[in-house]
């Protein structure tokens, strides 16, 4: 623990040289410090060059407790985990959680190396019914995870998280199961979706899938949205990274909005990221 704190102080000294490392997390101006941290990161190296900087979102509320989210370059999302009596307090608390995670992300242990991959695969094997031999077989879940890690060698965990979130959503959405039925290999699926970022286009395609599910099983959208909101709140109060849960909420809300505003919302768009496109890639 002492070594970790010392490493964090070194990182603060490098990225925020004019700040006192001992006072960083006690400073009420943590919002500007988080912005400064990522501006410095982008100047040092082109981290997430296509992304904007730090973005805040406050949930509408007539009174406390207030909730605030902060999205970092690359898409990682954090929220306030304390009960906040003002919007400013919620914003500061969210910024503090994000700053702590941003600093931890700079530690050598948070970068994907051969040693990290080996440890991660061993942990995955221990938590499933798989074996270490599965790591060399990309047709298995362990093998696919191993392949994803090796494909992202050298990246930090926040950088890797965006790709992981896409596959978490594809699994939740049922798309991965559908892709397996088309005989596409896991490696091909990973290579295909690694070309895309999680943007409005992908969200719209997933929303269309849920509109179809709603027409087949009326009520499933509201049920899934209630579950997503509960998961998001629990994860926020636990101080966890929130993007997967928040994206689920956004996709389901978009689907509900389209159903009520457009009776023909289930019609596919010409540029949809469809199974046909991936089969063509195959």
**What are the tens digits of pLDDT across the range 177-205?**
777 777 777 778 888 887 778 888 889 99
- Are 89 and 123 found together in one domain? no
pLDDT per residue over 227-242, tens digit each? 999 999 999 999 999 9
What's the mean per-residue pLDDT of the chain? 81
Q: Confirm whether 74 is domain-assigned.
A: yes
Q: Are 61 and 123 contained in the same domain?
A: no
Residue 169, domain member (yes or no): yes
The verdict on residue 272 lying in a domain is no
Residues 101 and 123 in one domain: no
Query: What's residue 220's pLDDT?
Result: 94
Task: Examine the pLDDT at 140 and tell me if it is beyond 50.
Answer: yes
Whose CA is closest to 214, among 254, 184, 241?
A: 254
Q: How far apart, in whole angstroms, are the C-alpha atoms of residue 86 and residue 65? A: 7
Return phi, psi of residue 281, to 5°. -60, -40
Kindly report each contact of residues 20-23 with a partner whose C-beta sits within 8 Å and lies 24 or more positions away, as own/partner. Answer: none
Q: Is residue 5's pLDDT more than 60?
A: no
> Which residue, of 106, 136, 151, is where some domain finishes?
106
Q: How many domains does the chain have?
A: 3
Domain boundary among the residues 178, 195, 212 is at 195
User: What pLDDT is attached to residue 231?
Assistant: 96
Same domain, 135 and 181: yes
Of 61, 78, 106, at which residue does a domain stop?
106
Range of the domain at 241: 199-263
Query: Does residue 60 form part of some domain?
Result: yes
């Amino acid at each position: 623990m002492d070594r970790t704190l010392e490493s964090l102080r070194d990182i603060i000294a490098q990225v925020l040289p004019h700040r006192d490392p001992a006072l960083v997390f006690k400073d009420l101006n943590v919002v500007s410090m988080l912005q400064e941290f990522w501006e410095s990161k982008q100047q040092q190296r082109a981290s997430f060059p296509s992304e904007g900087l730090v973005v805040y979102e406050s949930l509408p509320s007539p009174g406390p407790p207030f909730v605030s989210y902060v999205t970092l370059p690359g898409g990682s999302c954090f929220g306030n985990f304390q009960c906040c009596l003002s919007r400013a307090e919620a914003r500061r608390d969210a910024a503090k959680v994000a700053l702590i995670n941003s600093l931890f992300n700079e530690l050598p242990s948070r970068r994907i190396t051969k040693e990290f991959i080996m440890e991660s695969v061993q942990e995955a094997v221990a938590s499933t019914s798989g074996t270490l031999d599965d790591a060399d077989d990309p047709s298995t879940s362990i093998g696919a995870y191993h392949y994803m890690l090796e494909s992202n060698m050298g990246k930090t965990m926040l950088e890797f998280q965006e790709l992981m979130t896409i596959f978490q959503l594809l699994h939740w959405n049922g798309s991965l199961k559908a892709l397996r039925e088309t005989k596409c290999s896991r490696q091909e699926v990973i290579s295909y979706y690694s070309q895309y970022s999680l943007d409005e286009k992908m969200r719209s395609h997933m929303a269309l899938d849920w509109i179809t599910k709603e027409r087949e099983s009326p009520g499933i959208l509201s049920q899934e949205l209630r579950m997503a909101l509960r998961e998001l709140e629990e994860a926020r109060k636990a101080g966890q990274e929130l993007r997967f849960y928040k994206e689920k909420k956004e996709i389901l809300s978009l689907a509900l909005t389209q159903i009520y505003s457009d009776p023909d919302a289930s019609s596919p768009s010409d540029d949809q990221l469809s199974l046909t496109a991936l089969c063509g890639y195959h």
